A and B are shown apart, each in its own frame.
Chain A
């Protein structure tokens, strides 16, 4: 990683596509990106969980970001990927996205905070909106997403 980025207080985001929109995931949460594989269904779980997969001997639950966001489910394509999120030592979670596009580096200046309600920042599903040349990227608040899942 470029050292200058750290000094300028920048962050890198993985840009993914979901239902035509672009979302950014803080790269520090990302452990791995793998091709879609058929998950084993787990009965009676949260509706947005597709099941569990085997990633090199480890069993990892996989959720659909589409279903979580209340979008309709689509057919998997060749571009469908699972982003493996790693939070604590033993907690990994797979997130299914339509497509992984690129990695962008955003400095704080490039990020427009979502300030609908400053007090509720933790609960908001977005950290803010990032501006890259001519497009906008919604930056996902992974921590609040995880907290949200925990409470379901």
Chain B
């Protein structure tokens, strides 16, 4: 797959040759992104449709999405995908015309089609090819639905004609009809363009050589996001059949999207006007195109009657295609117009390759390292006036740059969770349980790298909730619970973390069952089981190869499970916790760091070694007199504001050199994980610092409590202590 996501339009005419040979791969990314958007719309809207079969807005929305998908697939030359989306669109056109009604069976078929289209897009993303699966079965099902409808016979005919223009662009007939009924000189903006002498000469020469010269004005739909890309496709299509001698605005401006929703051009070609029209209209999201042969003597003002005829001819020709798509087209267009005002100013974002963002982030990391170096160097040089001020200024700037870059990398978790409602719906059918998914906080943002990784663990937890968490409908009725099980997914930001909770109102975790299962599997002994707290027992679920499900189902419970979830989340620097009440439900709480690369940390000293402790896990720092240390089961604890907190001697854990004598007061850093706390005993505090997390490299084995390393201002390496593993 290409990673270059810049929009490129043909260079001005002189290196046109190169452009003609250019393939569509540049637009593959756009195609894939847009397809996914449309697929998501389809999924969302069909779910709504299932609940409200009469909702016309939804039906229209679905129709539009299916239609756009088909047009895009056609443009890109993905025939199989086009065929399938075409049939899907037909079904919805029938539904929209109220000649068919929405039945659960139909929804199933529609979902199947959506899945099939998704797999096409998946193939395209991986191999730039849609694959060879024809999905005839699904197409047959769709057609069966159509034939079950009342007004179907027209549709298959279209296929036989293979008249893709009419099918792919229902707007075309409407536009053409308009063209036939009213003078469209107004819209032929090219007529108003002045031609330079050399351009006139080129036109004369071409006409003398028996070629046609057309003026073309193309209107792009106002809802179109990527005008430049569409314009490029038009140029590309036209350049394949002729030579574009002039365009307004200039190619450069079009490339930079410096144009409204129309552009005009002159082309020298051997093709007919109808051919040109077809080529332009083949590009999706083109509202309309007006073209006319240029006659230099009349070019500026007069309308050439014969060409007007041609235009009419074409109008009637496509009109003759099918009356029905034409009316659909009109409907679609009307709908589009309604939305126009809202969407016209959407163009304020830029697509950037994630690799470039990674680069930027790395540079910022380097900058911060350099800044830290300067800060520590400044401590040793003689203070000059203003020097400190400047350093502080620099610190502020680097911190701000870091924040900005981080923000740029943030993506709402919506892009991950929006596929879940569909998944729960499918699970509900598969498991025969009634359930619904309620989501909140989809707008919560996380770093792109985290977003990419978090989907699977969340999906796993949801499946778990649906399969193991919720009781069967019958059981729920017996227990007097609402028949419909509820699964919730709530996301919110919590300081420097993002918390995602997946909860169900199901049976909850039966601790005794978990213990029994653990004993049976040899994870723990019976004595251990007896003295185990509920919380510890629940944590057993995260052991590898542990599943309490009595029967293995298709959905979950193959023993690969929560341990994988836990590992994944921990590898992202987060942690996961379970809360459960028997009979009332289970909640999985996932905490994730906002960013991975740069954190605020407290620098501490143990003997002559420096370590960093991430600030977000620190509660307080306390001075504790040695005499305050108590012993519980021969473990050191302190009593701090009515909490008993275990002490962890970091020097022992880190195999530091033994201390010569115990000081009277210990410096204790209190850290938390969930609602548990622990006190880390250190020698000295150095202070707070922004640090860049770096991996320790391959080959060296690192203990779990070391999560990475960072480079200090003086170039020395300090290890980062992951207090989560100690608490």
Contact = CB atoms under 8 A, between A and B. Distances in A.
Interface of A: 39-46, 49, 51-54, 57-61, 63, 88, 90-93, 146, 149-150, 152
Given A40-B609, A43-B654, A43-B706, A61 B719 contact: no
A60 B695 CA distance: 9
Contacts of B157: none
B715 interface: yes
B700 A49 contact: yes
Contacts of B697: 52, 59-61, 91-93
B717 interface: yes
Contacts of A44: 655, 701-703
B711 interface: yes
B547 interface: no
Nearest to B717: A40
Interface in B699-723: 699-703, 706, 709, 711, 715-719
Interface of B is mostly: loop
Contacts of A93: 697-699
Contacts of B701: 44-46, 49, 152
Interface centre among B695, B709, B717 (most CB of A within 10 A): B717
28 contacts: A40-B609, A40-B709, A40-B716, A40-B719, A42-B719, A43-B653, A43-B655, A43-B703, A44-B655, A44-B703, A45-B702, A46-B700, A49-B701, A51-B717, A52-B717, A57-B366, A58-B694, A59-B711, A61-B697, A61-B698, A61-B699, A61-B700, A63-B699, A63-B700, A91-B697, A91-B698, A93-B697, A93-B698
Interface of B: 366, 369, 609, 653-656, 694-703, 706, 709, 711, 715-719
Contacts of A43: 653-656, 703, 706
Given A61-B696, A93-B697, A54 B703 contact: no
Contacts of A152: 701
A59 B719 CA distance: 11
Contact of A146 (B366, B695, B699, B718): B699
A60 B697 CA distance: 6
Nearest to B704: A44
B696 A42 contact: yes
Nearest to B657: A41
A13 to B, nearest CB: 22
B705 to A, nearest CB: 8
A54 B715 contact: yes
Nearest to B369: A57
Contacts of A52: 696-697, 700, 709, 717
A59 B655 contact: no
A91 B698 CA distance: 6
A54 B716 contact: yes
A54 B711 contact: yes
Contacts of B655: 43-44
Nearest to A49: B700
Contacts of A60: 697
A150 B369 CA distance: 30
Contacts of B717: 39-40, 51-54, 59
Contacts of B698: 61, 88, 90-91, 93
A45 B719 CA distance: 13
Contacts of B654: 43
A52 B717 CA distance: 7
A57 B699 contact: no
Interface centre among B655, B697, B703, B716 (most CB of A within 10 A): B697
Ordered nearest first, which 9 A-B pairs have the shortest CB separation?
A61-B700, A40-B717, A91-B698, A44-B703, A43-B654, A43-B655, A61-B697, A59-B694, A45-B701
A54 B695 CA distance: 11
A23 B69 CA distance: 65
Contacts of B700: 42, 45-46, 49, 52, 61, 63
A45 B653 CA distance: 13
Contacts of B656: 43
Contacts of A59: 694-697, 709, 711, 717
A69 B702 CA distance: 21
A57 B711 contact: yes
B703 A91 contact: no
B191 to A, nearest CB: 59
A45 B84 CA distance: 58
Contacts of A39: 717
Contacts of A90: 698
Given A40-B717, A57-B369, 18 more contacts: A40-B716, A43-B654, A43-B703, A43-B706, A44-B655, A45-B701, A45-B703, A49-B700, A52-B700, A54-B715, A57-B711, A61-B698, A61-B699, A63-B699, A88-B698, A92-B697, A93-B698, A152-B701
Contacts of B711: 54, 57, 59
Nearest to A145: B699
Nearest to B609: A41
Interface centre among B653, B654, B696, B699 (most CB of A within 10 A): B699
B73 to A, nearest CB: 38
A30 B291 CA distance: 66
Contacts of B695: 59
A127 to B, nearest CB: 20
Nearest to A46: B701
A55 B369 CA distance: 13
A63 B717 CA distance: 16
A51 B716 CA distance: 12
A135 B101 CA distance: 92
Contacts of B699: 61, 63, 91, 93, 146, 149-150
Contacts of B716: 40, 54
Contacts of A146: 699
B574 to A, nearest CB: 23
A55 B529 CA distance: 50
A38 to B, nearest CB: 8
Contacts of A150: 699
A149 B656 CA distance: 24
Contacts of A54: 711, 715-717
Nearest to A152: B701
Contacts of A92: 697
Nearest to B362: A57
Interface centre among A59, A91, A149 (most CB of B within 10 A): A59
Nearest to A94: B697
B361 to A, nearest CB: 14
A110 to B, nearest CB: 30
A7 to B, nearest CB: 35
A46 B699 CA distance: 10
A61 B702 CA distance: 10
A63 B701 CA distance: 12
B719 to A, nearest CB: 7
A41 B609 CA distance: 8
A46 B702 CA distance: 9
Contacts of B653: 43
Contacts of B709: 40, 52, 59
